[in-house]
């Protein structure tokens, strides 16, 4: 369906008006959430907090939610989700994200930019807050908050929210840092000064066994919130150390598990999820366009040789290889050309209006 002329015009309105607004003030926009960095705090080694002052489109967040953050890094718009670390009631509508610098070329693009190039006064483009890692309204039971590394951020937001509402008596907070230098000292002092049932800052990896030593009565908690790096989360999968199922609430970050890559000559088909429950198995060679066609799909195309851009579509997740230079994509959402890409892992694609 083509949009009606009216919705077509209205959809174009922000693109027309926003550049003029932003000549006056870079925070202004008709629809987009934007925020100015008003201060930056060092929390620990490679771990910084950014205090953000958003424009009027910011709807506010619930403790434990994350926000998509975008910046142009070396000419490329780069977007990642960061958990909000401040409580929802933060003064004057500013809020905070705390970002661990990921020292890896592909995954660390935005965090490295935020740590090395972002300055106070810069404007970041944001999405709307989202996520289910939240404490239900009216929840009154015992709470165990467990985090590792930068996984502290959503848990910290929950802890600060509970502190603001004087609901700390039944709450235990456990955090594991990878080293002494990685312990966020200011946060530690802030939490230790609050009347929690327990606050534990540890150094070294956290396992279900270690958690059992620190919190022997963990099965007494009616909710356990757990957020940490992938290896820690994996240790808790299937063995939550005596925590009954249905009690554990987890949050993953860094885009979830990376799909396994396939070898060069491998011809095993990969699964391509086209949305709305449509999943097809396609070959990894020669091109995604031909593989999808062989699987009975009819994506839009033109020249079939990388000239005309007609077959461009959104890849929501998964890894593809550019057939022209052998370069592999990241696992994140981006746009690709079907005729010059081949699947390297399972994919999620949005083919739009398929003919």
Binding site for another protein (CB under 8 A): 2, 5, 8-9, 12, 15, 19-20, 23, 72, 74-78, 302-310, 312, 324-325, 334-335
Q: Which helix (H) or strand (E) holds 47?
A: strand 47-54
Nearer to another protein, 8 or 139 (CB): 8
Judged by CB, which is closer to another protein: 183, or 339? 339
Closer to another protein by CB, 23 or 137: give it.
Answer: 23
Kindly state the smallest distance separating residue 73's Cβ from another protein, in Å.
Answer: 8
DSSP assignment string, 139-198: --S-EEEEEEGGGHHHHHHHHHHHHHTT--TTEEEEEEESSGGGS-HHHHHHHHTS--SE
Find the shortest distance in angstroms from Cβ 273 to another protein. 21
Nearer to another protein, 250 or 310 (CB): 310
Please, which residue, 14 or 208, has the CB nearer to another protein?
14
Q: What is the C-alpha separation between 32 and 188, in angstroms, rounded?
A: 35
Alpha helix positions (H), the chain: 5-24, 109-116, 152-164, 185-192, 208-214, 230-236, 288-294
Q: Alpha-carbon dihedral of residues 146, 147, 153, 154, nearest 10 degrees?
A: -40
* Distance of closest approach, residue 109 Cβ to another protein, in angstroms: 11
- Closest approach, Cβ 37 to another protein, in A, equals 19
Please state the closest distance from residue 324 (CB atom) to another protein, in A: 7
3-state secondary structure of 70: strand
Q: Which long-range contacts (CB under 8 A, 24 or more apart) does 87-93 make?
A: 87/63, 87/157, 87/160, 87/161, 87/163, 87/164, 88/60, 88/61, 88/62, 88/63, 88/157, 88/161, 89/161, 89/164, 92/53, 93/53, 93/54, 93/58, 93/60
Given the complex with another protein, which of 2 and 268 has the nearer CB atom?
2
Burial degree of 94 (CB within 10 A; 0-12, 13-18, 19+): middle
Is 209 or 286 the residue whose CB approaches another protein more closely?
Answer: 286
CB of 157 to another protein, least distance (A): 28
Q: How far is the CB of 86 from another protein (least distance, A)?
A: 28
């Amino acid at each position: 369906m083509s949009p009606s002329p009216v919705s077509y015009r209205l959809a174009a309105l922000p693109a027309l008006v926003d550049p003029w607004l932003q000549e006056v003030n870079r925070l202004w926009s008709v629809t987009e959430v934007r925020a100015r960095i008003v201060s930056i705090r060092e929390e620990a080694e490679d771990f910084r907090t950014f205090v953000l002052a958003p424009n009027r489109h910011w709807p506010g967040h619930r403790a434990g939610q994350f926000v998509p953050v975008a910046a142009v890094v070396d000419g490329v718009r780069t977007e990642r989700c960061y958990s909000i670390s401040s409580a929802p009631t933060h003064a004057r509508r500013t809020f905070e994200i705390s970002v661990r610098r990921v020292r890896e070329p592909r995954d660390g693009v935005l965090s490295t930019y935020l740590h090395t190039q972002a300055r106070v006064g810069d404007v970041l483009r944001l999405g709307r807050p989202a996520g289910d890692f939240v404490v239900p309204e009216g929840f009154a039971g015992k709470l165990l908050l467990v985090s590792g590394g930068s996984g502290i951020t959503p848990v910290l937001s929950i802890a600060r929210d509970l502190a603001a509402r004087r609901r700390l008596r039944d709450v235990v907070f456990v955090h594991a840092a990878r080293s002494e230098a990685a312990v966020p000292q200011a946060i530690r002092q802030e939490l230790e000064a609050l009347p929690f049932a327990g606050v534990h800052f540890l150094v070294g990896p956290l396992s279900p066994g270690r958690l059992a030593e620190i919190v022997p009565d963990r099965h007494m908690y009616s909710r356990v919130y757990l957020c940490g790096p992938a290896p820690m989360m994996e240790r808790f999968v299937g063995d939550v150390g005596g925590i009954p199922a249905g009690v554990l609430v987890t949050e993953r970050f860094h885009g979830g598990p990376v799909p396994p890559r396939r070898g060069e000559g491998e011809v095993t088909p990969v699964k391509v999820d086209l949305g709305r429950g449509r999943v097809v198995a396609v070959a990894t060679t020669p091109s995604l366009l031909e593989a999808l066609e062989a699987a009975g799909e009819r994506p839009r195309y033109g020249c079939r040789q990388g000239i005309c851009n007609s077959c461009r579509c959104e890849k929501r997740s998964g890894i593809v290889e550019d057939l022209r230079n052998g370069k592999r994509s990241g696992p994140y959402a981006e746009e690709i050309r079907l005729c010059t890409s081949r699947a390297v892992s399972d994919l999620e694609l949005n083919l739009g209006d398929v003919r």
